[in-house]
Chains A and B, each alone.
Chain A
Amino acid sequence: MPAEDFAPINSEWLEKAGNLWTTPFVDKPSERVIVDPILLSHAAALFKKTPKYFWENPDEAARMVCQACELYDITPVGHYLWADYWGQDYGAEIKIQETSPPAITKYPIKEPEDIDKFEVKSPEELKEGPTFKDHFKALDTVLEEYPQMFAPITQLAGPMEVATNWAGIEDVFMWMITEPEIVDKLIGKATEHMVNACKVTAEKYGANVMITGSVVASGDLLEREQIKRFSYEPQCKAVKNVLKAGAGPGVYYHLCGNHTNSFDLWKDAPMSPFTVVQVGNDGKDVFPSGKLVEHFGDRCTCFGVVDTKLIDRGTPRQVYDQTAEQLQAGKDSPRGFIIGSSCECPTYAPPANVHAMVKAAKDYGKYEKF
C-alpha cells in the first residue's frame, strides 16, 4: 500500500498523543498514562495483510504501524524490527514466514572453532548490510511521511540474543556447559557488534533509542549466575560503550520472559536520562507493576506490562482488568510510567483486546501526581 492509500493522521490526536508519550520522560503534565502494546505485524493484520507481507515491505510496514497508532490511540511512534536481527549480515539464512516473524534457518557459526575466525563487521560494513537496509527503509519512511512519529531505534537485543542469531541456541547453551570460555568469546564479539550497530544509527539520525535487554537469557532457561555472566555484564559493557560512542540518549531495557531470578541486577545497569525498564514475567505471572516501581521507580521510567498471552487469548474484560490493576499500581511512579504488552503484540490478537488496554488507561490511568 503506497502512502496515498492511507487516510491522513489527525493532527489534534497526534499532538495529544505526543504529549502523553512525552510525560514519562520529561515529567510534563498530561492527562493519563500512554499505552504501548509494541505493535509490529499486528498492524498488518488490521490492514488484512500477513506478517510475511509486513516484513517483506518495511516502508509499508512502517506506514501501517503509524496508522494503527492513531486507530488505537497509543504511543505515536513508527517501528519496524524483528527478533532475529543481524544474523543475515554475517551469512545466516533467514526464512520469511507467512504467519510469523522471519526466522533464521542456517547459522554462520556451527562449531566452537568457528568463533575464533568470526569477524565482527565494522559500522561501515553494517551500514551497507541487509539488516540496516530494511531497518532504514522503514525509519526513512516514518521520517519522510510521519515526521512527528519518528523516534529512531536500534534493535540491538542483548549479547546473548545476538550470539544466538549467529549460532544455534541449542549449540550456545551446550557450549555454556562444555566450553563456557568460548561462549565468553562469542558474547564479547556480540557486544562489539552492538556498539558498531548503534554507531551507525547515531551517525545517520543523531538522537536515538537503543533497544536492548535479555530475552533468551531468562530465568526459565538460565541460572542467575549464567544470566549475569553471559547477558547482564556484557550488556552493561555494550551500553556504556554505545553511550560513549555518542548513541542514545534513549536506553530501553526489555527483559522478556521470566526474570524473577535476575531482574534486580538491572538496577545497576548503566542508565541515561531517558532509560526505560520493562520486565515481562515474575515466574508464570505477569510482572507486577508495584514490584517494578518498588525496584526501579526511583531510578528510571517504568514500563508496566499486560500479559501478551492474555492479549492474544483472553477476553477484552480480562485484558481490561489486568491493565487497570497494573496501572493503579504503577501510574504515579516517580520517574514516569508506561503501560504496554509484555512483548510484541501478537499478530492476530483481537483488536478488541488492544482497545481494552487503551480503555483501561482512559478509565484508570489518570495521573494523580501532577
Chain B
Amino acid sequence: MDIKISEEVANLLKDNGLKAEEMEKVIKDAEESGKKLESKDGSKCLAKAEDDNLTCYALYSASNGGFSLDSGYAHKMKMVGPTGGEFNVEAADEADWICKKCNENAIEANVDMTYLGVTRPGNAIVCPKCGDMYLGEDMVPTIKGAEGILEEKRG
C-alpha cells in the first residue's frame, strides 16, 4: 500500500511522538476492515488504533491510487463508552463524518474517558449504530490539557 507522508506531516508525527510505521498500519487496517470515518464530502478518512495506553489516529486522503497522510495524533485517555450510559441520538448534533462500516451519519456526543483511575466526559465523534468513538483533531488540545492536569495531580 502506497502511503505518502510529507516532510511537514513527518515533523508533526515526531512532535506528537508517533512513528510513520504506526500510521501506515492504522491506515492499512482501516482500509482492510472498513472500520473508519469518512468525511461527508468523501475527501478525508479518519482511522484509529487503540492499545491500553494510547489511541493513535491517522487522518488521510486518497492520492494517486494510494493514500496521503494528512495528520496524525494520539491521546492517553481511553474512551470507554457513552457518558450517562447511552447516547441521546435525538439531541446530538450530526458530525461531518460517516461511519464507513455502518454507512451511518456520525454524531457529536459526550463519551467517558478514563486515565490514571479518573473517568470524566469528553466530546467525541460517535457512530450511533456501532458505537465506535473517535476524538476529532480539534479536541486534542483540550484532552491533552486534561491529561497534563491529571498527571500533575494523580501521577
Which residue from A240, A245, A265, A273 sits with its C-beta under 8 Å from B121? A273
- The contact string, 1 if C-beta is below 8 Å from chain B, for chain A 52-75, is 000000000000000000000000
Q: Is the CB of A246 within 8 A of B77?
A: no
Q: Is the CB of B146 within 8 A of A267?
A: no
In the bound complex, residues from chain A placing their C-beta under 8 Å from that of B141 are: 246
B92 contacts the other chain (CB 8 A): yes
Q: Is the CB of A249 within 8 A of B118?
A: no
B145 contacts the other chain (CB 8 A): yes
Number of A-B contacts (CB under 8 A): 89
Q: How many Å from the CB of B110 to the closest CB on chain A?
A: 5
Please measure, in the bound complex, the distance between the C-alpha atom of A22 and the C-alpha atom of B155, giving whole angstroms.
14
Return the chain A residue nearest B148 by Cβ: A207
Interface-facing stretch out of B62-70, B80-88, B126-134: B80-88
Within 8 A of B (CB), among A179-208: 206-207
Return the chain B residue nearest A202 by Cβ: B141
Which residue from B91, B110, B149 sits with its C-beta under 8 Å from A249? B149
Please measure, in the bound complex, the distance between the C-alpha atom of A300 and the C-alpha atom of B111, giving whole angstroms.
11
Q: Is the CB of A268 within 8 A of B120?
A: no
In the bound complex, residues from chain B placing their C-beta under 8 Å from that of A107 are: none
Which residue from B83, B123, B148 sits with its C-beta under 8 Å from A299? B83
Which residue from B84, B93, B142, B145 sits with its C-beta under 8 Å from A267? B84
Within 8 A of B (CB), among A332-370: 335
| Size of the chain B interface, CB-CB below 8 angstroms | 32
Q: Is the CB of B110 within 8 A of A273?
A: no
Q: Is the CB of A273 within 8 A of B143?
A: yes
A27 contacts the other chain (CB 8 A): yes
Q: Is the CB of B120 within 8 A of A275?
A: yes
In the bound complex, residues from chain B placing their C-beta under 8 Å from that of A298 are: 83-85
| Size of the chain A interface, CB-CB below 8 angstroms | 29
In the bound complex, residues from chain A placing their C-beta under 8 Å from that of B149 are: 25-26, 207, 249, 274
Q: Is the CB of A246 within 8 A of B142?
A: yes
B154 contacts the other chain (CB 8 A): yes
In the bound complex, residues from chain B placing their C-beta under 8 Å from that of A240 are: 93, 108, 123
In the bound complex, residues from chain A placing their C-beta under 8 Å from that of B109 are: 268
Q: Is the CB of B153 within 8 A of A22?
A: yes
A130 contacts the other chain (CB 8 A): no
Return the chain A residue nearest B121 by Cβ: A271
Please measure, in the bound complex, the distance between the C-alpha atom of A247 and the C-alpha atom of B141, giving whole angstroms.
8
Within 8 A of B (CB), among A209-253: 236, 240, 243-249
Q: List 16 A-B contacts (CB under 8 A).
A: A25-B153, A27-B118, A207-B148, A240-B93, A243-B138, A244-B138, A267-B84, A271-B122, A273-B77, A273-B122, A273-B142, A273-B143, A274-B149, A299-B84, A299-B121, A300-B121
**8 further interface pairs, Cβ-Cβ under 8 Å (given A267-B84, A273-B143, A298-B84):** A240-B123, A249-B146, A249-B149, A268-B109, A271-B121, A271-B123, A272-B146, A335-B119
